[in-house]
Structure 1
Amino acid sequence: MVHTVEEYAALLHCPRIQVDKVYSRATNVLTFTKKLTKITGMSEQWVTAQIKQKGENKCIPWKSLQDQILAHPDTKKKVDVFALSIYGLVIFPKALGHIDEAVTDLFDQLDRRVTPVPVILAETFRSLSTCRRTGEGRFIGCAQLLLAWFHSHFWKVDKVSYRVFFENYSSLKELAATPRRDDITEERWMAILQNLQDEDVEWKAPWMMLDEILYRCEDFDWVTLLGIWGPVRYTPLLVLRQYRSRQFIPTAQGLAQCEFSYKGNNYRRKIREMSNTWKQIHRMKRFTVGAMTTPEYYEWWSKRTNDNIPKPNHENS
């Protein structure tokens, strides 16, 4: 089970965005100073004085932006600075208390109705993979969205609100208003999650109403998600059960070869190639069947086979 583009799009509920217009890291970007000057409306001298170095990245402290939100004479600029702060502190919190330079590159493209969903998913996957691989680390992603997704799949619901059919329905608002237990210890959570059974999981989030699934770009058997710090490949066919469709063995060969950071000499060419795949996206209709998985799927899953090409079943052909 993983987070999907459709689930995060439903959670964020951004009607103004174009769902297929994705972020791509600009190859000829403005300097951090010029981007902040454009967003905040402040002078380059002021912006230059606020920029700090955190490790390998440049950032601006939240305190500097907070002062502008309170004192800026331009209301639109106040809103822009506040929105930028949310993106940097809540959605992409890399340097605590600071807004990372990479966030401004995405923020600068939002006016063109670029969807932030694949970017958020990419950094969620990248951070969770790093934590799992190293066995430690801090999650650098939107913990609030992750928690909302978690509650939607691991808390059984008796009934679905009729409001999901309303155009202005917000699943996040409803989830925020739903009381949750906060007396479960970390050890208890670990025990619960380690012993989960299929019947304990709400495979399809109760607020998911879409009938179409994005499942590939161009002729690839996956979708490339471009984050603000690097890309990942994502295979929706791995999680058909989350759409109440039958789960079969997907093609997973080459998935890990996509992950890299935006550094070095060749990453710009790779970005262009990956961005171009979104010009040919493919969706399929969700279909419902009796059995949720094929018999072969459980065997494949138990082996955690990543580089996999399913062989045709000649007995049934």
Structure 2
Amino acid sequence: MSTPTRYTHLSEPDPAWLAVAEAHAPLDALAAKMYSLPISEFRKVPYKPGPLPDNVPKPGIDITIRTDKVLVRDGTSIGVRIYEPLQRHDGQTLFFNVHGGGWTVGTPETEEAQNRMVAAGTDCVVVSVDYRLAPEFPFPYAVHDSMDALLWCIDQAVDLGIDPHKIVLGGGSAGANICAALSLICRDTGIQGTIIGQVLNIPVTCHPAHFPADQYEYRSYEQNKEVPLVDAARMHLYWYFYVPNPEIDGSNPLVSPLLAESLANLPPALVQVAGMDPLRDEGLAFAQALEKSGVNTTVKIYPGMPHAFYVYPNLTPSADYFETTVQWIRDVLQGDKETKNKETN
């Protein structure tokens, strides 16, 4: 048995989760069987995002949804999914979403509920990018595709109706990893003024082989080794697909943003962490590193919930997760507005 640490209690299952887990045990068993397939066979199974909350905004009633194509740096065309509020005006904020799925699965609809809620509940146009997936396209394809799509949004600001200097980056899990990489790129290439916030939900922040365990607690892979949805073995497999040469690429800050030389001057961040998740400790470590670097950081922990628990949308913690994301973006936009008003007065 592992020695208790200050985060050990976060792994104790939430009773609300236990009730859902028992009811959905057959589906979880089927999912585990699917994930045991070779990636070539797994890809043949049609991917379906999780069920939507009962109160999710509806296309044609609350929002509109459309798709477009983006030409990336190697000449390949990738897709984007665009969510717009019905009440439009020029100069809206862009919420640029990078979907989760361990860099190997998922689509722009992976965070469908979140994307609809942000489009309907904030002054944002949402663009979700369909970056290419590992293992066929390992690092750095996902980062490059996502960055090129972000630059496309900036270039298409007039057509999208957005202010190219008001962008919030967002991502879940592997998508949050890419999002953190984009924040570093934007800061280091002079685009930083365009990014006013970053939403890092249940983030991947460091390759396990390079995690600085001498600086941060790192027991969540052990404590949550065999948890539902995403266990330790599955996460290691995702890493193997995305970074096949960890000794070469694993310490790259665009792979492991926790290892960046500096996190200073990055935009304000929301970091949401699940307690019963192998990724818990690296999410909390990244939040600590951001705060130490002077970045305004909000941390929200969901004790006893597994990775991607929000795929069960009518759980109380799931509703809280979505509401926290939307409210945090509203607060960032309000703060940005007040700052600009002060600058002009």
Larger radius of gyration: 1
Structure holding more strand per residue: 2
Question: Structure 1 length as normaliser, TM-score?
Answer: 0.30
Structure holding more helix per residue: 1
